[in-house]
């Protein structure tokens, strides 16, 4: 009776690919959707803002304009160098977000490749790569960072480099553990029985299956990279004045925390809300991509 289609009377529902189902579920996640909306708003503000508010964030105003309170000319007021805080907030946001994206994405790519290779090949390759991870994880970051800053100099690219160098190990471990369990799956055995080559197994069979955790980890990674940038800049080893980032704006503001607390609030709240949004989105993605739902 094999010629009769077993599915015939099944409901003719729409076909959903995995990613469309993830999107459907994600949309139902209220917190994550809130995060997404806020984040998109922040990104648009940071990009479109400077096009409307055409004030040079670096230029110091001539005259006694330091630490002005918010006014029509300077909606966020000015800082201790008589620079327009709103313009700096836009510019700083762009840099902070850019560092967050660039650092987290690069760290994830490196981590994913290391994890795939270590997990798939196992043995000596795995042992060497994982010991490197262990070693890097034991190094206290900040002292090394200070040393690195003196060698590489201070700036945006150096910060990204530092965050990447110290940020890929978690992803490597994550991907490796997923690959180790995928290796035990029967579909891997099935692929081997067909005669599929190792590279095809790694990239056609494994990679799509590690995408879900990778995306969650990148999303959360962007948030933590932004915090990391802020901490480094706060210590004075990050983005250097006169260039603005939310982090070094905070650093500048610390001496005026009592007489001009708004200088702390603007970048501080921005970092807080942005990172929180990323975390909400990450949680939402994690729930939406829960592999248990699609087996």
Partner 1 sequence: MKKLVEVQNLTKYFPVLGGVFSRPIGWVKAVDDVSFHIYEGETFALVGESGSGKTTCGKTVIRLIEPTKGKIIFEGKEITKLSQSEMRPLRRSMQIIFQDPYGSLNPRLPVGEIIREPLLVHNIGTKKEQEDRVVDVMKLVGLSPEYLHRYPHEFSGGQRQRIGIARAIVLNPKFIVADEPVSALDASIQAQVLNLLLDLQKKLALTYLLVAHNLAVVRHVSDRIAVTYLGKVIEVAETTELFSVPLHPYTQALLSAIPVPDPDVKRERILLQGDIPSPINPPSGCRFRTRCRFAKDICKEKEPPLIDVDGEHYVACHFVKKGKKTEYTVS
Partner 2 sequence: MGNNELLLDLRNLQTYFFTDDGVVKAVDGMSFQIRKGEVLGLVGESGCGKSVASLSIIRLVDKPGKVVGGEIIFKGEDLLKKSEEEMRKIRGAEIGMIFQEPMTSLNPVYTIGNQIMEAILVHQDIGEEEAQKRSIELLKLVGIPEPERRFNQYPHELSGGMRQRAMIAMAMSSNPDLLISDEATTALDVTIQAQILELMKDLQKRTGMAVLFITHDLSLVAEMADIVAVAYTGKIVEYSDVRSVFKNPKHPYTFGLLRSVPSLVNEQRKVDLPAIEGMVPSPYHMPNGCHFHPRCPFATDVCRREMPELEEKLPSHYARCFHPVEVSKEVV
Beta bridge partners of 78: 84
Q: Which of partner 2, partner 1, none is residue 51 near (CB under 5 to 8 Å by kind)?
A: none
Task: Tell me the C-alpha to C-alpha distance, in Å, between residue 98 and each of 105, 161, 258.
Answer: 11, 13, 31
Beta bridge partners of 84: 78
Q: Is 16 in the site for partner 1 (CB under 8 A)?
A: yes
For the bound state, the minimum distance from the C-beta of residue 284 to partner 1, rounded and expressed in Å, comes to 20
Provide the 8-state DSSP code for 73: S
For 154-158, the CB contacts below 8 A with 24+ separation are: 154/237, 154/238, 154/239, 154/240, 155/239, 155/240, 156/95, 156/98, 156/99, 156/239, 156/243
Interaction pattern, residues 206-245, with partner 1; x per rule: CB under 8 A: --xx-x----------------------------------
Q: Which of partner 2, partner 1, none is residue 28 near (CB under 5 to 8 Å by kind)?
A: partner 2
Give the integer Cα–Cα distance in Å for 246 and 143.
Answer: 22
Q: What is the CA radius of gyration of the chain?
A: 24
Interaction pattern, residues 181-210, with partner 1; x per rule: CB under 8 A: ----xxx-xxxxxxxxx--x---xx--xx-
Measured from the CB atom, the residue of 24 and 200 that comes closer to partner 2 is 24
For the bound state, the minimum distance from the C-beta of residue 200 to partner 1, rounded and expressed in Å, comes to 7
Interaction pattern, residues 252-291, with partner 1; x per rule: CB under 8 A: ---------------------------------------x
| Nearest CA-CA partner of 159 in 97, 90, 99, 243 | 99
Give the integer Cα–Cα distance in Å for 143 and 231.
Answer: 13
Q: Which of partner 2, partner 1, none is residue 200 near (CB under 5 to 8 Å by kind)?
A: partner 1
Q: Which of partner 2, partner 1, none is residue 11 near (CB under 5 to 8 Å by kind)?
A: partner 2
Whether the bond into 146 is cis, omega within 30 of 0:
no
Residues near partner 2, by CB under 8 A: 1, 4, 6, 8-11, 28
Binding site for partner 1 (CB under 8 A): 1-8, 15-18, 185-187, 189-197, 200, 204-205, 208-209, 211, 291, 294-295
């Amino acid at each position: 009776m094999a010629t009769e289609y077993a599915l015939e009377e099944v409901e003719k529902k729409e076909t959903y690919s995995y990613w469309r189902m993830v999107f459907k579920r994600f949309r139902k996640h209220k917190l994550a959707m809130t995060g997404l909306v806020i984040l998109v708003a922040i990104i648009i503000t940071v990009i479109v803002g400077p096009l409307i508010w055409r004030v040079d964030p670096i230029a110091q105003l001539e005259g006694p304009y330091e630490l002005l309170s918010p006014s029509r000319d300077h909606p966020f007021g000015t800082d201790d160098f008589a620079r327009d805080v709103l313009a700096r907030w836009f510019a700083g946001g762009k840099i902070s977000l850019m560092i967050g994206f660039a650092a987290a994405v690069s760290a994830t790519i490196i981590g994913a490749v290391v994890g795939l290779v270590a997990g798939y090949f196992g043995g000596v390759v795995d042992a060497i790569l994982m010991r490197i991870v262990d070693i890097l994880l034991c190094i206290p970051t900040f002292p090394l960072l200070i040393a690195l800053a003196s060698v590489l100099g201070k700036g945006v690219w150096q910060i990204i480099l530092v965050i990447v160098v110290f940020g890929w190990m978690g992803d490597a471990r994550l991907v490796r553990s997923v690959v180790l369990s995928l290796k035990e799956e029967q579909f891997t055995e099935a692929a081997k029985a067909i005669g599929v080559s190792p590279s095809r197994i790694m990239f056609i069979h494994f990679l799509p299956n590690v995408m879900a955790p990778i995306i969650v980890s990148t999303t959360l990674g962007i948030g933590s990279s932004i915090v990391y940038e802020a901490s480094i800049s706060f210590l004075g080893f990050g983005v250097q004045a006169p260039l603005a980032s939310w982090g070094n704006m905070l650093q500048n503001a610390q001496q005026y925390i009592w007489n001009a607390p708004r200088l702390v609030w603007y970048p501080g709240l921005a970092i807080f809300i942005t990172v929180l949004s990323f975390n909400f989105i990450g949680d939402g993605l994690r729930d939406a991509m829960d592999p248990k739902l699609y087996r």
